Chain A
Amino acid sequence: GAVVSQHPSWVICKSGTSVKIECRSLDFQATTMFWYRQFPKQSLMLMATSNEGSKATYEQGVEKDKFLINHASLTLSTLTVTSAHPEDSSFYICSAGLGGGAADTQYFGPGTRLTVL
């Protein structure tokens, strides 16, 4: 089956530093990947759509200068949280779409837990 990996699985950083999270599709190519964040015991909120070779599309209310997304290849998207603050602490999950037409679905990575001190 389709596998999506994320690295790191967890990270602790000091306030003001930047953190990069990688999302890879291991056995398929994904022209589009998605980044979500999930606060404890809450639902997933779509942050942005990452398109290979072009700029990401951000959801309303998401600061694009704070959450930098780069989709460098068909198997790799990165999310960089710049100048992180404690309120950025969350569970970040990426996903990639597979297939087309009626058979499409999304596969989710294992998530990255970010804690900002």
Chain B
Amino acid sequence: QVHLMESGGGVVQPGKSLRLSCEVSASTFSSSAIHWVRQGPGKGLEWVAVISYDGSNTYYGDSAKGRFAISRDTSKNTVHLEMTSLRDEDTAIYYCATPRDGSEEAPFDNWGHGTWVTVSS
């Protein structure tokens, strides 16, 4: 079973930045793409971004393009989501997830518990 642990959430003012982290089991980290998915209060799931197993490819949802950046830290088995120019509508719980065969477009069979981000003045 893959272990995923998100951290870095909190309350931040509009326009500010925040970095989320997702620590992944060492056995999985180097062979799997990692996704971020978010869910606003009382809302549905929204895919945010993905980074390939080797970091060579990254893709973003429309709401993240130009403001968020996903990266991998192989020394810490961690994926980061750097969020800038935060808006009220970015308020959500952010989950990281791994696909069932490691590829970027496969279904997500492992999820973390999520970390809350609240954008508020």
> Is this pair of chains taken from one and the same complex?
no
Could you list which residues of chain B lie within 8 angstroms of chain A, going by C-beta atoms? none
